[in-house]
Amino acid sequence: MPTRPPDPHRILTTGRTMMALAALGMVVSTLVAYPLAERFSLGVQIASHLALPVSAAFFKLGYVVRLAAHHALGNLRAG
């Protein structure tokens, strides 16, 4: 049974969604870790400090997925 190639438009949407959710995660973790730190327990502050580089990594991964989708669509000038 032959398999279908993945839909580039769906992959593009996935990449954009990953970037948006990761950006939201970075904003929330930065707020919890720094300006609003006194409102949260030490455990939550530590978790937010750890979440910051993890969400940045997911943002970068979403960017690569988005670029791959643009390449599959023939849009080689996307950046």
Give one DSSP letter per residue of 1-32, joined into a string: -PPPPPPHHHHHHHHHHHHHHHHHHHHHHHHH
| Cα dihedral sign, 33-58-24-47 | negative
Looking at per-residue pLDDT, the higher value among 57 and 1 belongs to 57
**Residues 21-42: pLDDT tens digits?**
999 999 999 999 999 999 999 9
CB-CB contact of 45 with 33 (8 Å): yes
**What mean pLDDT is reported for the chain?**
95
Average pLDDT for 8-29: 97
Model pLDDT, residue 5: 81
DSSP helix/strand/coil, 48? helix
